[in-house]
Amino acid sequence: MKNPSLLILAGDGIGPEVMEQVRRIIDWYAANRAMAFDVFEDLVGGAAYDAHGTPLTDDTMAKAQSVDAVLLGAVGGPKYDDLDFSIKPERGLLRLRKEMDLFSNLRPAQCFDALADFSSLKRDIVAGLDIMIVRELTSGVYFGEPRGIFEEGNERVGINTQRYTTSEIIRVARSAFELARRRDSRVCSMEKANVMESGVLWREEVQKLRDAEYPDIELTHMYADAGAMQLCRWPKQFDVIVTDNLFGDILSDTAAMLTGSLGMLPSASLGAPMENGMPKALYEPVHGSAPDIAGQGKANPIACILSFAMALRYSFDQGEEADRLEQAVERTLQGGARTPDLMGEEGGTPLSTTEMGDAILSELDASLN
């Protein structure tokens, strides 16, 4: 039997720092659980631009298409702010999502009990929180045409186009309903049907699919602005949220802060099934390259580590091993381990990125007894 394959694209800023800890976890699984992966590494984002003049080479794109799963750190940084849009680091990530057709982006927001006091919201609002945001990832205003900056008389106009087809809406809604069936069977769909035609279409198609194929799912609809408010007011009312590319980007950063830190939120971007029946997939933390703390050993590696746990679950059918890793993270936090982003008023000495990795690895060791 061939080993499952992984392509690691660590990227920029804190990307390589947090990915280093994931490498150690991968090695732990090989040594202790007889789970060997064939691991390949390559460049993406600013790192690829520096080496090749493009944020993603065709060769790297082909590798991404050929492996069982891609793990990505983060891309971007101030150094690249003035580059043309077509070669910015972020384009590398967008190209991966588009060409791998990763239409369903799962962004779970779970509040670990040990961090409930640390959220900027009150404990009873976030304690026990477990919601799943399903963000459409390959269409909408991120990719719609026409787009660009144009001259119009003596003015310049910037144009982006929000565009959704029925099949694009239906496939992401289906993935949300399927996930909800394995959770609390409730889906809330968010758009702006009060001002956008694409939102009207979104609402109609999601409702039609529910009525035709998922009568067991409780479906509600909410305007995305009200949804943002409700996420801060009483987030536990939600089970699964399904929404478009741009609203999902914003709502998932909001949800991240409910869990205590952006450094906690993992994600899985899933496409259609491959020959082996598993979905095409890329896993990455929700956070970015954090230029303000890069190179200082301050980054929280948990979002990236939990993204690998999602890979175990969704790409490698290793739900129990994913549970093991998530529980190791939970126990590490219960034990008081904190990177600087998780330090509240109580003070104490923060752990470095590597020390947080050490702490999680020793909880993994303990899980074997």
10 binding ligand NAD? (CB under 6 A)? no
Bridge partners, 221 (sequence order): 189
- Phi, psi dihedral angles at 104 (to 5 degrees): -120, 110
For 21, other C-beta atoms within 10 Å of its C-beta total: 24
CB neighbour list of residue 87: distance below 8 Å, 6 or more residues apart? 49, 53, 54, 55
Q: How many CA atoms lie within 13 Å of 308's alpha carbon, on the beta-carbon side?
A: 28
152 strand-pairing partners = 155
Any catalytic annotation for residue 49?
A: no
Write out the H or E segment, with its range, that includes residue 268: strand 268-273
Spell out, one character per residue from 73 to 92, where the chain touches ligand NAD: x when CB under 6 A holds, - when not.
-xxxx------------x--
Q: Which SS3 state, helix, strand or coil, does residue 137 take?
A: coil
CA gyration radius, the chain: 20
- Residue nearer to ligand IPM on the CB measure, 17 or 363: 17
Q: Is 249 in the site for Mn ion (CB under 5 A)?
A: yes
Of the two residues 260 and 288, which places its CB atom closer to ligand IPM in the complex? 288
Residue 50, amino acid: D
Q: Phi-psi category of 348—alpha, beta or left, where left has phi over 0 and alpha has psi -120 to 50?
A: left
Binding of ligand IPM at residue 100 (CB under 6 A)?
Answer: no
Mask: binding to ligand IPM, 284-313, rule CB under 6 A, as x and -?
A: --x-x-------------------------
Q: Is 59 annotated as a binding residue?
A: no
Query: Shortest distance, CB of residue 339 to ligand NAD, whole angstroms?
Result: 6
Q: Distance between CA atoms of 324 and 117, rounded to whole angstroms?
A: 24
How many Cα atoms sit within 13 Å of 291 on the Cβ side? 8
The residue from 7, 47, 93, 172 that contacts ligand IPM (CB under 6 A) is: 93
Binding mask 293-332 for ligand NAD (x = CB under 6 A): x-----xx--x-----------------------------
Q: Per CB under 6 A, which region of 87-95, 120-128, 149-157, 184-192 contacts ligand IPM?
A: 87-95
Contact with ligand NAD (CB under 6 A) among 135, 287, 331, 338: 287
> Closest residue (Cβ) to ligand IPM?
90
Closest approach, Cβ 280 to ligand NAD, in A, equals 18
Give me the catalytic one of 192, 280, 283, 341. Answer: 192
**Cα dihedral 118, 123, 128, 132 in deg (nearest 10):** -70
Please report, as ranges, the residues that interact with ligand NAD according to CB under 6 A.
14, 18, 74-77, 90, 93, 262-263, 284, 287-293, 299-300, 303, 341
